[in-house]
Structure 1
Amino acid sequence: MSESPFLSVIRVWAAMVWADGVVAPAEAKALRRLIDAAELTDDERGTAHKFLEQRVDLDTVGVADLSEDARRGIYRAACRIAAVDREVAGSERELLDRLRGHLGIALEVAKDIEAGIPGL
């Protein structure tokens, strides 16, 4: 059984939270808010909350076929997560670059998205 698109998106954001190897309190709080607001079943929500307990690697298989607007939204939220603790580590920057490529977002579009996010 494949993962729901909503859980796949949360998994991408969880990878962003873990990108520097440390889950900062502000990052955990932001991801919890996203999990609690997402259209997930109880089981999926439980799975998503476990993403905060154990490192998650970037996996974009479940989001690659989403609409362009949805993929931009995923990238925008990942950028906000990276900057939520006001410190963007090199590993977070690298993950954003990989994510941009996997989502098929042009560099100029990514720069426009990032320009609207304080701390990035």
Structure 2
Amino acid sequence: MESQVRLATLPLERCRQSRLAYVSSHFERRSSDYMSTFVHQIEGNRFEARIDDHVVGTLDYTVSGNKMVIESTETIRDFRGQGIARRLTRFAFDDARTRGLVVDPKCPFAKRFVDLHPEYTDVL
């Protein structure tokens, strides 16, 4: 059984497209109707973004000693451009700060995130 910590439930930012369909589900809704839930899969070293119980984004990391290494950040194609990866990365950095860890952003997205958000340089 995986341990989970729910971090937040937030409305997604309005998408550039007027409608999105999630392929593995049987419905189509306006993107502004979606609610994203961010979950920390502690035992799996992963943060997940979920919409209606479907994983639409992930951030994978490893921890060694007091260092969190962000290995990859990914968002399902239909949900890209809505800030999901940015929010997952923000939660990872906030989690690292809370736990007293330093972050090594190995994945390109996490590196760009640090460049755009200098408020997180204290955890590098």
Q: Which one has a bigger Cα radius of gyration?
A: 2
Taking structure 2 as the reference length, what is the TM-score of the superposition? 0.37
More strand by share: 2
More helix by share: 1
Higher relative contact order (CA 8 A, sep 6+): 1
